[in-house]
């Protein structure tokens, strides 16, 4: 790589945070160099076409864009149309299928009742009272039971969580499940946000359009950490890789959970009737099955094809070199993160560290876009002051 001259800023990582930062800076007239380690932009939203079924396969697990923030929604809609898909998730437990999230559809089916909306709160309070949870929950299990009662916890949360995190939920901090709302309605939309959808022509097209602008230069297959010696001092850098990797893991790696995916194309038009089904029982090794054609119900030709692409999702222990998905938040990792942040600020004073990996925080896509907009706009205000 030749020395980087003629750029006003460098963005390291072309995931949704990095692409948003790059676009805002370029719209303000800056020349931006985007360096992406992978062979294409998009981060973990990257998709592939399954030729037999015609489905857009989400390579790193299902991604549904949903938000209640009109500014974020307006920004992403500059680059693509969204199809209005409304996400619904089913759960399999003990041979039966239930609608998530926790609401009247699940409660009445699970308990064999006919609760009315005004009866839900008292019914759940009664289930919680029977569980004997202390006033201040001491761990994940007690916190979850305090929200929904023990029977629902045991059926839909306990074993799923054990598979997801690789440990007994009693070993997890209560803060991991800060809230678990129970809806007093038959609304089975998984997200409460009114603004939802999948990019009509796929996530790859969204990212390509975000970066398709005079002033943005994209270099894929280029690792910022290997090339940063060529970037002149004083050039602002927006880094969205892991903050511990930025510093060579000098204090040890931050802990993550990773995922393993098993994908196959089946000779049926429809395998499970919906996009995502959770498997909550301990004797099923995976947590979810994704069926991707359901993300585009408007694509009648693909829906009719006698093939479908599905993917089983298996959580797994993480080690350096694996794809990091979920940060493991506990007092030890919080202290280690603070140490890395302090060291990064001292060693790279002109750098902004952000995004899911940089901040060591799980973000939905809309929150990542909102954070990136705020980051870029704050930088431009200071630059122009």
Active site residues: 179, 183, 257, 288, 313, 362, 364
- Whole-angstrom distance, CA of residue 78 vs CA of residue 209: 9
For residues 352 and 239, the answer to whether their CB atoms sit within 8 Å is yes
Two structure tokens written together for 178: 């800060």
Distances (CA, A) of 367 to 17, 93, 97, 99, 244: 9, 31, 31, 26, 22
Two structure tokens written together for 9: 């800023």
- Whole-angstrom distance, CA of residue 77 vs CA of residue 201: 12
- Whole-angstrom distance, CA of residue 256 vs CA of residue 238: 22
- Torsion, CA 6, CA 12, CA 17, CA 22, rounded to 10: 10
**End-to-end CA gap in the chain:** 33
Distances (CA, A) of 39 to 163, 172, 189, 210: 31, 36, 35, 17
Laid out side by side, the sheet with 216-220 consists of 216-220, 32-36, 9-12, 237-239, 351-353
For residues 263 and 247, the answer to whether their CB atoms sit within 8 Å is no
Cα 161–Cα 357–Cα 293 angle in degrees, nearest 5: 60
Burial class, 179, CB count within 10 angstroms (exposed 0-12 / middle 13-18 / buried 19+): exposed
How many DSSP H helices and E strands does the chain contain?
14, 16
- Whole-angstrom distance, CA of residue 58 vs CA of residue 47: 5
């Amino acid at each position: 790589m030749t020395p980087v001259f003629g750029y006003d800023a460098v963005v390291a990582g072309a995931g949704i945070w990095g692409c948003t930062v790059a676009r805002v800076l370029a719209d303000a007239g800056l020349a931006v160099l985007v360096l992406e380690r992978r062979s294409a932009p998009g981060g973990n939203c990257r998709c592939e076409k399954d030729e037999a079924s015609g489905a857009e396969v989400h390579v790193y697990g299902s991604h549904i864009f949903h938000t209640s923030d009109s500014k974020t929604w307006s920004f992403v809609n500059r680059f693509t149309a969204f199809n209005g898909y409304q996400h619904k998730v089913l759960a399999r437990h003990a041979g039966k299928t239930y609608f998530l999230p926790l609401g009247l559809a699940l409660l009445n089916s699970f308990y064999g009742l006919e609760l009315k909306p005004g009866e839900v709160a008292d019914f759940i309070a009664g289930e919680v009272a029977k569980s004997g949870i202390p006033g201040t929950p001491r761990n994940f299990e007690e916190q979850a039971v305090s929200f929904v009662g023990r029977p629902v916890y045991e059926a839909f949360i306990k074993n799923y969580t054990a598979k997801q995190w690789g440990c007994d939920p009693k070993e997890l901090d209560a803060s991991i499940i800060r809230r678990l709302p129970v809806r007093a309605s038959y609304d089975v939309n998984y997200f409460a946000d009114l603004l939802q959808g999948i990019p009509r022509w796929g996530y790859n097209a969204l990212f390509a359009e975000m970066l398709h602008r005079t002033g943005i230069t994209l270099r894929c297959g280029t690792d910022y950490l290997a090339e940063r010696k060529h970037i002149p001092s004083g050039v602002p850098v927006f880094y969205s890789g892991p903050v511990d990797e930025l510093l060579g893991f000098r204090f040890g790696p931050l802990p993550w959970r990773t995922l393993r995916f098993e994908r196959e194309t089946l000779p049926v038009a429809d395998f499970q009737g919906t996009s995502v089904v959770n498997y909550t029982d301990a004797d099923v090794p995976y947590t979810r099955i994704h069926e991707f054609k359901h993300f585009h119900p408007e694509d009648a030709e693909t829906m009719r094809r006698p093939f479908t692409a599905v993917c089983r999702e298996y959580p797994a222990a993480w080690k350096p070199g694996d794809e990091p998905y979920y940060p493991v938040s506990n007092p030890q990792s919080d202290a280690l993160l603070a140490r890395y942040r302090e060291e990064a600020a001292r060693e790279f004073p002109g750098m902004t560290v952000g995004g899911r990996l940089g901040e060591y925080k799980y973000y939905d896509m809309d929150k990542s876009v909102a954070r990136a907009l705020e980051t870029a706009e704050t930088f431009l205000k200071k630059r122009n002051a």
